[in-house]
Structure 1
Amino acid sequence: MNRKTLVLPAVVGLLTPVLAACGGSGSGSNSGDAIVVGTTDRFTATKDAPAPLDPAYSYDVGGWNILRQTVQTLMSQPKGEGDPVPDAAESCSFTDSGSERYACKLREGLKFSDGTPVTAKDVKWSIERALRIKAVGGPYGLLTNIDTIETQGDREVVFHLRSADATFPYKLSTPVAGIVNPKDYDENKLRDGFGIDGSGPYTFKADVKDDAIVSATFTKNPNYKGSVKVNNQQVVLRSYDDADAMGKAIDKGDIDVMTRTMSPAQINKLDAGDDSNVDLVEMPGLEIRYLGFNTDAPTVKSKAVREAMAQIIDRASLVAKVYGSQAEPLYSLVPASVTGHSNSFFNKYGDPSVSKARNTLAAANITTPVKLTLHYTTDHYGSATKQEFEVLQKQLNDSGLFDVSIQGTLWKTYQVAERKGEYDVYGMGWFPDFPDADNFLAPFLDKDNFLQSPYVNNKIIKTLLPESRREADRASASGSLTQIQDAVADDVPLLPLWQGKQYVAARDDITGVAYALNSSASLQLWELGRGSSS
């Protein structure tokens, strides 16, 4: 085909990948039959975060991309769009009319990778472990609506919920609900290091240097029983310092696939079709970027300061200068392609206006220029992050109302500092746990929010989120969801910036690339194969 980019379209509400590929063949990698995948994600164990791959702790896209290959869940997200499907379970369903009792039956003959049988008690133990540990900044908040877990024999598990939650099947598809082998995990503390023992599609072995994973080998698990078909025997995931190093590796044939995060320039080059051996797959994305605020910090404690920033920042200009066609301005925490989205920030603030921001600050008796620091991570969201924050800095400073400096920090330090409340204003990205509007709101606003944000809105927590979750038809939840988004625009504890597309680049002899990422930006390594594409 003339254009090397393979564009996968979206449908209303969710994403629907359409399989497409270019013909031809390439040299592949030099690692035998193993498919080699490159990433710029860094997997590091530190004193403050010693258990990066424990399902009870891990809560970033990189860690989850490892766990989804290795730790099985009762439900899993399909490779395209749609509701979650049984994986470790043979079947799951609500057994009452109020969506408060959810029952699952395990597949017969389910085993951990070492051959040990997986029982209903292991499921109960694993999920209760995450709830018991309550790792700071971890994902346990996804499960706190569970009241009790009941087992019936070796294969049946029943979840009794505190309140109705139509999104619960999605939550059971996330790694925090992963089934781990009790003999390899302590029930009361996290498992340090990079060991993983589960019943997922692959076993896992990490090559570690200086407390960081250099490469990880995923080998097909002969004991796996679940919903996915594994199309390869082995995948090697290699971690690179930056997108340039990863790009050179695929050019040389050292890797077969590039995933997150490629630079905008790199994507543009591949999009132009300059490399006849590498195809670029473009698909709609649910990744968002936003600014977070420590609403207790003196510099931004006044809502007027946060409102003024929301009034000044020009998302369209930011996206055009840094990401071009690879992103779109976002006016809510909920992406435009997800059912329940509302343009709440645009509805409240309209087009950027320095004069309106000046009036807002003056009415609150705020002395200008307001001096503050915007923090960002240098190595987690891609090389363009620094440029993005330079543009934000210029927009705010050019208004004359702010005196902004920017500070970049490595992710291994950054995420811990943010959770401790050390940053007044900080940039973050969000890759959804599951493709529902609830998951772009509750993780930030519920009582167990992963940001450890001091912002509390009792109406959201006690009324609007529960109301929205009672609706099995998610379109019927739009009223409550819109009120939540409007409240965020009013109080500005978070400031959405943009919504991005997602990309995978692969050499021509790699198949299944169109499904290598699902709608939640999760890697699905089992979809990759080696052979001639069509």
Structure 2
Amino acid sequence: MNRKTLALSAAAGLLAPVLAGCGGSGSGSDGDAIVVGTTDAYVATKDAPAPFDPAFAYDASAWNILRQTVQTLVHVPRGGGVPVPDAASDCHFTDHENESYRCTLRSGLKFANGKAITSADVKYSIDRVRNINDEAGPVSLLENIDTIELAGDEEIVFHLKTPDATFPYKLSTPAAGIVDRDTYAPKKLRDGLKVDGSGPYTLKTETKGDEVVKAVFTKNPNYKGDLKIENDKVEIHPFADSAAMGKALSDGDIDMMTRTMSPEQIQQMSASPKEGINLVEIPGLEIRYLAFNTNDPSVRNKAVRQAMAQVVDRGRLASEVYGATAEPLYSLIPTSISGHSNSFFNKYGDPSTPKAAAILRTAGIHTPVKLALHYTTDHYGSGTAKEFKVLGEQLNASGLFDVTVQGTKWSEYRPAQKKNEYAVYGLGWFPDFPDPDNYIAPFLDKGNFLNTPYVNTAIRTTYIPDSRRATDRNAASKTFEKVQDIVANDVPVLPIWQGKQYIAARDDITGVEWAVNSSSDLQLWELGRGVS
């Protein structure tokens, strides 16, 4: 059939496929691997020697490997919503204050190698992440754990330092993945590109030097959990860019391409359908933003950051660079998440050079302010270079800034950013879980993943803890609005846009509409081969 665009809509917090009946319901029983293309690079480097270790990995590309291979006690179900048991048979808070969380393991749970899993393995795995405490890792997701209590081989109780209604979501992330102590040392990262776990797949990587050229996922016969696996084998093939990935799909070398398709590809595939290929739009929660080393002399005065917020034209940037695939964002919390507030627009309104000049003049800042904007060349897709070119042009056109733009490979970029070597830099955020807390705490709480020197005591000691007491997440909206207003005033980060996400796949591949969730997590177990 002709390639057509399938759209998924979000309703009541769940993702519902508009054309769920398209294709068959095969399970890959013919034994052929389903091949998925990506522009993500998987590289072991001196600064990042353990990219697939749950104690280190904290980016969407690495988590997309771990979610297939390392099992967690709970997982977010196919269409979103409250986490449900996976390695566990039951998990629940045992008190009204959300401070004690008890899980019971499934009976007969095993690692892929056949070794039995007990509650002690769960405790070991989570303690390991906390003990290693890698500054680039996801340890902040587990920082609120006070003690872990074992009640026999199958029960485990997490006692929290403070109430946290979001804790089940944190347990659903690879940070809480269950690992085998025989292959993962208690206080040392596991270097290299291997993963062992109890998830739906085992992993074998083919490498060239220290870089993965093919990741082969084979159905784990020992997997016991909530997921239904629709295939026997999936391969991920990394590509240098979206153009090469698109050609491979057209040539039949791959069955599906995911992150990151270029805006031009999406537009072309929408306007000129190609026989046998479907383009699927999936609700997305990705955001892009500028962040600041607020200790750097060039941006230490918040007037400089406020002036940038006043000058940047998000709407023009989004439309010029990304077209219909992005929309302007005026808060860290995207529009589709409860608690969102257009705080930046409320404070700054439409872009205005005179207003920005007044901000700088009042603060006694001499213009033009000289800045370097840093971005990564190979992590967020081909549009990033154009995006930063446009950002630089907008700032320079005001006459208030003298901006240069510098791009760096991700393997070098992320370590440098963590060391605060950049005054101004761009990053994207794919949420760990779909809750407003996950757009605030990772940027502003103690131990945040940016390693930012910016500290707001009210946010850390009052607003974040208060928001986590609310079991009804809508009840925390007022608290999140206060945080967003503080961010708009202090500008430790500058939100730019939020994006949609797309997958293109051959029309005999089923389950495509579920293969990526709203948090951009790959769910390879959903893919199968069927009838067009």
What is the TM-score with the length of structure 2 in the denominator? 0.98
* 1:330-384 CA-partner distances (Å, limit 9, x unpaired): 0001010001111111111111111110000000000000000000000000001
**CA–CA distance in 2 between the matches of 1:194 and 1:38?**
18
Partner of 1:147, secondary structure, is strand
Give the partner amino acid of 2:479: S
**CA–CA distance in 2 between the matches of 1:24 and 1:452?**
47
In structure 1, the partner of 2:525 is 526
After TM superposition, the structure 1 = structure 2 runs for residues 70-469 of structure 1, keeping only pairs within 5 Å, are 70-469=69-468
Cα deviation, residue 3, structure 1: 6.8
Partner of 1:269, secondary structure, is helix
Distance change in 2, residues 1:186/1:168 (3 Å) = same
Give the partner amino acid of 1:347: N
Distance change in 2, residues 1:198/1:478 (3 Å) = same
* 1:155-181 CA-partner distances (Å, limit 9, x unpaired): 000000000000000000000000001
**CA–CA distance in 2 between the matches of 1:379 and 1:166?**
36
Give the partner amino acid of 1:366: I
Give the partner amino acid of 1:351: D
Distance change in 2, residues 1:457/1:169 (3 Å) = same
Give the partner amino acid of 2:250: D
In structure 2, the partner of 1:517 is 516
In structure 2, the partner of 1:4 is 4
**CA–CA distance in 2 between the matches of 1:280 and 1:273?**
11
In structure 1, the partner of 2:20 is 20
**CA–CA distance in 2 between the matches of 1:235 and 1:15?**
24
**CA–CA distance in 1 between the matches of 2:15 and 2:448?**
26
Give the partner amino acid of 2:8: L
* 1:425-444 CA-partner distances (Å, limit 9, x unpaired): 00000000000000011001
In structure 2, the partner of 1:487 is 486
**CA–CA distance in 2 between the matches of 1:78 and 1:454?**
36
Partner of 2:10, secondary structure, is coil
**CA–CA distance in 1 between the matches of 2:289 and 2:17?**
26
* 1:17-52 CA-partner distances (Å, limit 9, x unpaired): 445365699xxx9x9610000000001100111000
Give the partner amino acid of 1:130: V
**CA–CA distance in 2 between the matches of 1:288 and 1:56?**
24
**CA–CA distance in 1 between the matches of 2:475 and 2:148?**
29
**CA–CA distance in 2 between the matches of 1:241 and 1:46?**
18
Cα deviation, residue 136, structure 1: 1.2
Equivalent pair of 2:24/2:510 in contact (CA under 8 Å): no
**CA–CA distance in 2 between the matches of 1:278 and 1:50?**
38
Equivalent pair of 1:5/1:273 in contact (CA under 8 Å): no
Equivalent pair of 1:78/1:518 in contact (CA under 8 Å): no
Cα deviation, residue 10, structure 1: 1.7
Equivalent pair of 1:56/1:190 in contact (CA under 8 Å): yes
Cα deviation, residue 210, structure 1: 1.8
Cα deviation, residue 2, structure 1: 6.9
**CA–CA distance in 2 between the matches of 1:18 and 1:150?**
45
**CA–CA distance in 2 between the matches of 1:304 and 1:418?**
22
Give the partner amino acid of 1:95: T
Give the partner amino acid of 1:337: S
Cα deviation, residue 14, structure 1: 5.8
**CA–CA distance in 2 between the matches of 1:164 and 1:284?**
30
Equivalent pair of 2:280/2:513 in contact (CA under 8 Å): yes
Distance change in 2, residues 1:486/1:400 (3 Å) = same
Equivalent pair of 1:4/1:22 in contact (CA under 8 Å): no
Give the partner amino acid of 1:484: V
Partner of 2:286, secondary structure, is strand
Distance change in 2, residues 1:323/1:453 (3 Å) = same
- Structure 1 stretches of 5 or more lacking a match? none
Distance change in 2, residues 1:32/1:117 (3 Å) = closer
Distance change in 2, residues 1:14/1:401 (3 Å) = farther
Cα deviation, residue 493, structure 1: 0.3
Equivalent pair of 1:14/1:339 in contact (CA under 8 Å): no
Equivalent pair of 1:6/1:21 in contact (CA under 8 Å): no
Partner of 1:246, secondary structure, is helix
* 1:250-286 CA-partner distances (Å, limit 9, x unpaired): 1111000100000001111111243111100001210
Equivalent pair of 1:6/1:20 in contact (CA under 8 Å): no
Distance change in 2, residues 1:174/1:18 (3 Å) = farther
What is the TM-score with the length of structure 1 in the denominator? 0.97
**CA–CA distance in 1 between the matches of 2:159 and 2:247?**
52
**CA–CA distance in 1 between the matches of 2:21 and 2:371?**
48
Distance change in 2, residues 1:526/1:19 (3 Å) = farther
Equivalent pair of 1:37/1:255 in contact (CA under 8 Å): yes
Q: Report sequence identity in percent.
A: 64
Distance change in 2, residues 1:76/1:13 (3 Å) = closer
Cα deviation, residue 521, structure 1: 0.8
Calculate the aligned-residue CA RMSD, in Å.
1.5
**CA–CA distance in 2 between the matches of 1:16 and 1:445?**
33
Partner of 2:182, secondary structure, is helix
Equivalent pair of 2:370/2:401 in contact (CA under 8 Å): yes
In structure 2, the partner of 1:65 is 64
Cα deviation, residue 292, structure 1: 0.5
**CA–CA distance in 2 between the matches of 1:471 and 1:391?**
41
Give the partner amino acid of 1:393: G
* 1:190-209 CA-partner distances (Å, limit 9, x unpaired): 00001111100000011111
**CA–CA distance in 2 between the matches of 1:417 and 1:470?**
36
**CA–CA distance in 2 between the matches of 1:475 and 1:90?**
28
Distance change in 2, residues 1:32/1:253 (3 Å) = farther
**CA–CA distance in 1 between the matches of 2:64 and 2:141?**
18
* 1:104-161 CA-partner distances (Å, limit 9, x unpaired): 0000000000000000000000000000001112100000000000011110000000
Partner of 1:323, secondary structure, is helix
* 1:478-531 CA-partner distances (Å, limit 9, x unpaired): 111111111110100000000000111100100000000112110000000011
**CA–CA distance in 1 between the matches of 2:16 and 2:212?**
33
Equivalent pair of 1:100/1:164 in contact (CA under 8 Å): yes
**CA–CA distance in 1 between the matches of 2:390 and 2:10?**
30
Give the partner amino acid of 1:318: L
Equivalent pair of 2:23/2:509 in contact (CA under 8 Å): no
Give the partner amino acid of 2:481: T
